[in-house]
Chain A
Amino acid sequence: MNVRLYVWQRATAAVMAPLVMVHIAVIFYATRHGMSAVDILARTNGSIAWAAFYGLFVLAVSIHASIGVRNILNEWTPLPERRVDACAVFFGLVLAVLGLRAVAAVVLP
């Protein structure tokens, strides 16, 4: 961990704090109303707001989680630094790609 990664880690955490709370509220709402796929997709399809919300969430979590995983790999495994960096970057990219694909899946009509 260094100052640059630290700033990114904490900044994305701060950005996500309110996003997480909204997401929990969404989960509760969806389960309370027993929403089916049709219901959910009806709400999200074509919605710029949901696209922006979850798009931001995905990007922030990709950065945040990959830095966290990097710390764990550095401290708890004997992997060399370069390998750890590569794994962390790869993981971040996987999250970003899969995440944005998921956002597209529910937002694009």
Chain B
Amino acid sequence: MNAKLAVSLWRGAQNGRYETYRVPQRSSQTVLDVVTFVQRHIDPTLSYRFACRVGVCGSCAMTVNGRPRWTCRTHVAKVAAGGKLEIGPLANLPVIKDLATDMQPFFEKWQRAKGAFAPTKTRHDAIAAIEPDTPARRAADAAIECINCGVCYAACDTVRWNADYLGPAALTRAWTLINDERDGGNIARLQAIAGAGGCHACHSHRSCQELCPQALNPTAAIAGLKRRTAAAYLKGEIKL
């Protein structure tokens, strides 16, 4: 096959431009293959991120033809209409260089949402027996497989419009911990997500759910958080 793809890649930092490269088209080619080809054979100064190449780490997320996706799991044939591809860094995050973004704001919001487990036992206590089929555990399990790839954060309009908004991933993690009966930090956590930029900023657009490569549902998790924070507020357990 001598066909070539016209691939536009973002070059530069926040202020940059798209540059077009011609990449040989192959069958069963992923977008990551295309980016790698450019860096290895055309322009070694291209910066991008990847790790596992097989869809388990989430490092290779980029904006492909306007949508945030895992490039190693995106087949070119599925997205390159008319042999054209436009690849940019993930949206809503500062650009370090070319296709690599600074994930720090994403993880800072994770911390701000109190997405860390607050233990209540020590190693000297008996191991907690958690039933897998209680409603709370099922809710936590449905949301637990997040690998922090940032796709939902890049897809979210509210993240784009509201600099304070903690974002779908951070809130989904908070939801799993709120449903974890071993966790002792719930009042502080509900307090952390009840202010400006908390779960109530979500407008249920569901872009996060639509694009999550792990098929998670942050909108549902956030709906649960809205109920919990409202109940806690009305009971006086948290204050604004």
A–B contact (CB under 8 angstroms)? yes
Q: Which residues of A contact B (CB under 8 A)?
A: 1-7, 10, 74-76, 81
Decide if B158 touches A75 in the complex (CB within 8 Å). yes
Min distance, Cβ B205 to any Cβ of chain A, angstroms: 12
A-B residue pairs in contact (CB < 8 Å), sample of 5: A1-B201, A4-B240, A5-B200, A7-B234, A75-B161
Known: A75-B161, A76-B161. A6 touches B196 (CB 8 A): no
Residue pairs across A and B with CB atoms within 8 Å: the count is: 37
Out of A4, A5, A7, A75, name the residue touching B162 (CB < 8 Å): A75
Min distance, Cβ A5 to any Cβ of chain B, angstroms: 7
In the docked arrangement, what's the CA distance between A6 and B231, Å? 12
Min distance, Cβ A84 to any Cβ of chain B, angstroms: 11
In the docked arrangement, what's the CA distance between A2 and B193, Å? 9
**How many positions in chain B have a CB within 8 Å of any CB in the partner chain?**
16
In the docked arrangement, what's the CA distance between A3 and B194, Å? 5
Decide if B230 touches A3 in the complex (CB within 8 Å). yes
Min distance, Cβ B204 to any Cβ of chain A, angstroms: 12
Which residue in chain B gives the minimum CB-CB distance to A5? B200
Min distance, Cβ B238 to any Cβ of chain A, angstroms: 7
Residues of B within 8 A of A2 (CB): 194-196, 198, 200, 240
Interface centre among A1, A4, A7 (most CB of B within 10 A): A1
Decide if B162 touches A74 in the complex (CB within 8 Å). yes
In the docked arrangement, what's the CA distance between A24 and B152, Å? 39
Residues of B within 8 A of A4 (CB): 233, 240
B226 at the interface (CB under 8 A from A): yes
Which residue in chain A gives the minimum CB-CB distance to B230? A7
Residues of A within 8 A of B161 (CB): 74-76
In the docked arrangement, what's the CA distance between A4 and B191, Å? 12
Residues of A within 8 A of B230 (CB): 3, 6-7, 10
Decide if B229 touches A3 in the complex (CB within 8 Å). yes
In the docked arrangement, what's the CA distance between A7 and B158, Å? 19
Decide if A3 touches B233 in the complex (CB within 8 Å). yes
Interface string of B133-175 (1 = CB under 8 A from A): 0000000000000000000000000100110000000000000
Known: A1-B196, A1-B200, A1-B201. A6 touches B162 (CB 8 A): no
Min distance, Cβ A108 to any Cβ of chain B, angstroms: 37
